[in-house]
Chain A
Amino acid sequence: MNTNIKLHSLQKRRLRDGITGFLFTLPFVVGFILFIFSPVVMYLAMSFSKLSLNDAGAMVFENVKWDNYINVLFEQPDFLKRLASSLGDFALRCPAILFFSLFIAIILNQRFHGRALVRAVFFLPVLVYSGAALMFSNDALSNDYFKLLSSDSDETVNLAQYVISVLGGTEDSPILDIVSTLMDKIYDITCSSGVQILIYLAGLQSISPQLYEASSVEGCTGWESFWKITLPMISPMILVNAVYTVIDVLGNPTNTIINTLYSLAMDSGNYGLSAAMGLIYFLIIFIILGAVFFVINRFVFYEENI
């Protein structure tokens, strides 16, 4: 009798917790349905139709079935070329960004003088690049934001050229070319790593210091504690960052495909074609995202699995 009552109240509690849990998710889910889910559904509908304005200025959808998709795949030779180059660029940059940002985050997580300042410096590109620099945005599509910041002057001042000119070198030596492309790449990767570094840092901050204490009592070296503690504990953040890097690199406004999508819709008014192209592109992102998630998730260590 007594246990029966207890069981009953336990079930009741489970049910109540389930309902409360659901209520917790509700505000976000409503916002999600309104501002993310339904636009996507409409986007899907747009890709199968030809959009035009009637005399009254209202939008008219005309169903054209797969025409837009056929157009994208067979009548837009540039699209596939751009797609290939954009994916190739991605394949190089994504792993580079992930490793680089983890490396920097681990260093920035150590205690040293001026740590706050150095951390801020590595986040500067995110602040400068996406914010104020874009205001001079005639040229926002260029990666060289030094050029952006010197905005209106006609000379395109490359960072490497600038440094070398300050050091008193000449401007057109072959070494300069190599150094400047190399620096451009490093610079580019550092600039795209700001958010990732910050996420890794938050992850590193969340590791309980007791783990390190215990391991050092047991005689663990720094190298061992990195592999046995830091890496497993940070692995969920590696997954988050991989996901973020995929959507950031492939969905960045400076990406050629995103650019094409935008100009097709806004400048040429060809909404249907733009939507079809977008959906093909997002399907590819989806496949990449799925593959990345599947591969990395197998190595992720979750606390509850102990």
Chain B
Amino acid sequence: MTSKALENGRRSKRHIFHKAKVNRSHAGNAVVFTCILILGAFMALPFVYALGSAFKPLNELFLYPPRLLPQNPTLDNFIGLWTLMKSSWVPMSRYIFNTLLITAAGSAGQIILASMCAFPLAKHPFPGNKFIFRVIFLSLMFHASATAIPTYIIMAKLHMLDTYWALILPACASSFGLYLMKQFIEQINNAVLEAAEIDGANIWQTYIRIVMPMVKPAWLTLMVFSVQSLWNIGSSTYIYSEELKTFSYAVSQVVAGGVARTGTGMAISVIMMVVPITVYLITQSSVMQTMASSGVKE
């Protein structure tokens, strides 16, 4: 009897607490979301400005104070860009193909190599695996632009200068990508891997069927990073034939035309941003339903 009363008391107390909590968090949520909204508006402002400017006629581009949105929207900037591109020496489609190839191959290579290396480092120790990881981790501190000259010399020795490989292969060996993947794979419950092993899966099968699906948020995130950086590769010291240069390089040449190209430049910046943003939106929507059904019952 007494224990029942006590139980009831506890329950009602908990109930009250629960209710109070919910109410408070509602008020808190409102404040927090207002903050987010304001911050988000500031984040979006430059993008909206670029988007708006891409559709501005020439006389509105240099107004001061600048206007966010065009009053008389026009497609002149895009049409101008189209004419400029048609007159280029190497067809624009070639630049686009180059960029697409480098982005796709580089991102795929980075994800596959990093996750393949991270899996045994995190879950299948072999002699020397700690040493390998430490050396890779230490290399994080060296900035790529600082070691550009030695890299150039090595590429020359490997006969990779002026080929696609010069841009694709270095992208595949990303220390940070490896570190990110290792940290995520380490989070996987060992029981899941043991279960797979007991069911007769070898390392390769475990990697494809268990590990990769479970760390999908990680490699999708890595994909966003690598697509983002590879898509924007502009002029590179390793490439000098015009036919192998990237889209980003080609459009930066257009912008370099000066003040008169401001409108065209805006149109370009919008086009350049569209691809990474699309990749980002697609990956983020598929990150959502990853973890829902995985786990162990003990």
Q: Which residues of A contact B188 (CB under 8 A)?
A: 303
Interface string of B36-54 (1 = CB under 8 A from A): 1001101111110110010
Q: Which residue of B lies closest to A166 (CB)?
A: B65
Tell me whether B42 and A190 are in contact (CB under 8 A): yes
Q: Which residues of B contact A37 (CB under 8 A)?
A: 135, 139
Q: Which residue of B lies closest to A133 (CB)?
A: B269
A282-B142 in contact given A28-B178, A131-B273, A146-B49 (Cβ < 8 Å): yes
Classify chain A: how many residues form its interface, as a range.
35 or more
Q: Which residue of B lies closest to A110 (CB)?
A: B29
Tell me the interface secondary structure of chain A in the complex: helix
Tell me whether B140 and A149 are in contact (CB under 8 A): no
Q: Which residues of B contact A122 (CB under 8 A)?
A: 39-40, 43
Q: Does B9 contact A (CB under 8 A)?
A: no
Q: Which residue of B lies closest to A200 (CB)?
A: B221
Interface string of B261-284 (1 = CB under 8 A from A): 010010011101100110011001
Interface string of B2-26 (1 = CB under 8 A from A): 0000000000001001100100010
Tell me whether A206 and B187 are in contact (CB under 8 A): yes
Tell me the interface secondary structure of chain B in the complex: helix
Residue A126 contacts which of B40, B158, B190, B228 (CB distance < 8 angstroms)? B228
Q: Which residues of A contact B169 (CB under 8 A)?
A: 31, 34-35
Classify chain B: how many residues form its interface, as a range.
35 or more
Q: Does B57 contact A (CB under 8 A)?
A: no
Tell me whether A21 and B203 are in contact (CB under 8 A): yes
Tell me whether B281 and A134 are in contact (CB under 8 A): no
Q: How many Å from the CB of A270 to the closest CB on chain B? A: 12
Q: Which residues of A contact B172 (CB under 8 A)?
A: 28, 31
Q: Which residue of A lies closest to B25 (CB)?
A: A222
Tell me whether B154 and A34 are in contact (CB under 8 A): yes
Beta-carbon contacts under 8 Å, A1-48 to B: 17-22, 24-25, 27-29, 31-32, 34-43, 46
Q: A28-B113, A146-B46 are in contact. List 11 more A-B contacts (CB 8 A).
A: A19-B126, A24-B203, A32-B173, A38-B154, A42-B147, A120-B277, A124-B43, A149-B50, A153-B262, A219-B18, A247-B141
Tell me whether A198 and B221 are in contact (CB under 8 A): yes
A-B contacts, 9 listed (Cβ < 8 Å): A20-B124, A21-B129, A24-B120, A40-B147, A104-B36, A116-B285, A198-B225, A247-B176, A251-B141
Tell me whether A40 and B228 are in contact (CB under 8 A): no
Q: How many Å from the CB of A261 to the closest CB on chain B? A: 6
Q: Does B204 contact A (CB under 8 A)?
A: yes
Q: Does A304 contact B (CB under 8 A)?
A: yes
Tell me whether A286 and B141 are in contact (CB under 8 A): yes
Q: Does B161 contact A (CB under 8 A)?
A: no
Rounded to whole angstroms, the CA-CA distance of A191 and B43 in the bound complex is 8
Tell me whether A136 and B255 are in contact (CB under 8 A): yes
Q: Which residue of A lies closest to B191 (CB)?
A: A303
Interface string of A251-287 (1 = CB under 8 A from B): 1010000100110010000010011001000100110
Tell me whether B231 and A131 are in contact (CB under 8 A): yes
Residue A202 contacts which of B127, B132, B221 (CB distance < 8 angstroms)? B221
Rounded to whole angstroms, the CA-CA distance of A135 and B255 in the bound complex is 8
Q: Which residues of A contact B273 (CB under 8 A)?
A: 127-128, 131-132
Q: Does B220 contact A (CB under 8 A)?
A: yes
Binds A, one of B75-83, B88-96, B288-296: B288-296
Q: Which residues of A contact B153 (CB under 8 A)?
A: 42, 59
Tell me whether A32 and B146 are in contact (CB under 8 A): no
Q: Does A239 contact B (CB under 8 A)?
A: yes
Tell me whether A205 and B290 are in contact (CB under 8 A): yes
A124-B47 in contact given A24-B116, A25-B121 (Cβ < 8 Å): yes
Tell me whether B232 and A131 are in contact (CB under 8 A): yes
Tell me whether B173 and A209 are in contact (CB under 8 A): no
Tell me whether A21 and B126 are in contact (CB under 8 A): yes
A202-B220 in contact given A17-B124, A190-B39 (Cβ < 8 Å): yes
Tell me whether A206 and B291 are in contact (CB under 8 A): yes
- Interface centre among B44, B188, B225, B229, by most chain A C-beta atoms within 10 angstroms, is B44
Interface string of B127-148 (1 = CB under 8 A from A): 1010010011111111101111
Q: Which residue of B lies closest to A15 (CB)?
A: B126
Rounded to whole angstroms, the CA-CA distance of A120 and B48 in the bound complex is 13
Q: Which residues of A contact B121 (CB under 8 A)?
A: 25
Rounded to whole angstroms, the CA-CA distance of A221 and B20 in the bound complex is 11
Rounded to whole angstroms, the CA-CA distance of A293 and B133 in the bound complex is 14
Interface string of B94-123 (1 = CB under 8 A from A): 000000000000000000011011011100
Q: Does A74 contact B (CB under 8 A)?
A: no
A35-B154 in contact given A118-B40, A190-B39 (Cβ < 8 Å): yes
Tell me whether B269 and A124 are in contact (CB under 8 A): no
Rounded to whole angstroms, the CA-CA distance of A39 and B209 in the bound complex is 36
Q: Which residues of B contact A286 (CB under 8 A)?
A: 138, 141
Q: How many Å from the CB of B122 to the closest CB on chain A? A: 10
- Interface centre among B21, B143, B232, B290, by most chain A C-beta atoms within 10 angstroms, is B143
Q: Does A72 contact B (CB under 8 A)?
A: no
Tell me whether A289 and B268 are in contact (CB under 8 A): no
Rounded to whole angstroms, the CA-CA distance of A38 and B154 in the bound complex is 8
Q: Does A93 contact B (CB under 8 A)?
A: no
Rounded to whole angstroms, the CA-CA distance of A64 and B117 in the bound complex is 39
